[in-house]
Structure formats: structure tokens, C-alpha cells
Amino acid sequence: MKKLLGLLLLSVIWGLYLNSQNIITPYSRLIINNYSTKHYNHYPLIKSINSDFQNYIPAFITLEDKSNTNLSDLESLGIKIEGRYHNVIASLIPINHFEDASNIKGIKSINIASKARQSNDKARVLSFVDMVLNGTNLPKPYTGKGVVVGM
């Protein structure tokens, strides 16, 4: 029993180690590996740029903190740099060079962008807006009626 438990623990640690070495996030790997199937072939964020007729996918490339990664290494693979904020690069990566991008020295992770969704229904509950509008535990309800400028 101890051998079985030890083997299980060793395999979990080994799996965590291998996962920590992976630059491409699991979600990104799923999209790229299944791109040719019907389900992922119509991934809504894939863009085709007319100048070179390649399919690009928007992604965030995170560089290591003290990385000296040369952006020309990314551009040599056809990656289009859309913007940069500190060590995060917003980019368009050609689908056929996605794996190659993960081999560039100094890259910490690559994550395919996902479509943003509104979640105002959750924000109203979490910030107690409805309670303020109803005046719950307040001397009166605060509806904003008569407010000229709100700060």
C-alpha cells in the first residue's frame, strides 16, 4: 500500500513538474491541436489578413521578468505585435507558427485571447447596488433621482 501511495505521489509531482515547464497554456493547446476539426475551425477570433492569406490567432505573450527577448525573433515568425505593456505583448500569431513561438528564449507563457463577456448582473450583486437602490439598512433609498453630477 505504501509503495502504491508513493508511486501515486511521485506521478503527481512529475505531472506538476511537466506542466510547469509548458509555455503554451492548456486552453491554447486545445484550440491549436483541434484547429483542423470542424468544431474549432470556426473559432471566432481567428483572423485572416489579406496581405499574406495566413490565419492568425490573437494571443498574449508573457515574457520572463528579466528577459532580453528580441521582438525581431517574434516578428521573424510572422507574429504581428499589436501592443506591449511591461512584459505582456498583445499579438497576432500565425496558427502554423504557434508551436515555434513557444521555443523562443525568454517567453514565459502564451495564452490565446478569449472573447470578453459582460457580467454586470454579477457585479451588481457583488457591489450591493440593488441594496443601495432599495435602501436596505439605509435611512432612505438612493436611486440617483435629482443628481446632477455623480462622483
Residue-level pLDDT, tens digit, the chain, 151 residues: 667 666 666 665 655 545 445 788 887 777 777 765 555 555 556 666 656 667 888 899 999 877 677 788 889 998 999 999 988 999 999 888 888 888 888 888 999 887 777 777 777 778 888 888 888 888 888 888 887 876 6
Q: Which CATH superfamily is domain 20-114 in?
A: Peptidase S8 propeptide/proteinase inhibitor I9 (3.30.70.80)
Q: Which residues contact 94 (CB under 8 A, 6 or more apart)?
A: 54, 55, 56, 77, 78, 79
State how far the Cα of 129 lies from the Cα of 131, in Å rounded to an integer. Answer: 5
State how far the Cα of 2 lies from the Cα of 111, in Å rounded to an integer. Answer: 39
C-alpha cell belonging to residue 93: 500569431
Q: What is the pLDDT of residue 65?
A: 78
Q: For the chain, which residues make up each domain, given as ranges?
A: 20-114
Helix (H) or strand (E) holding 39: helix 38-41
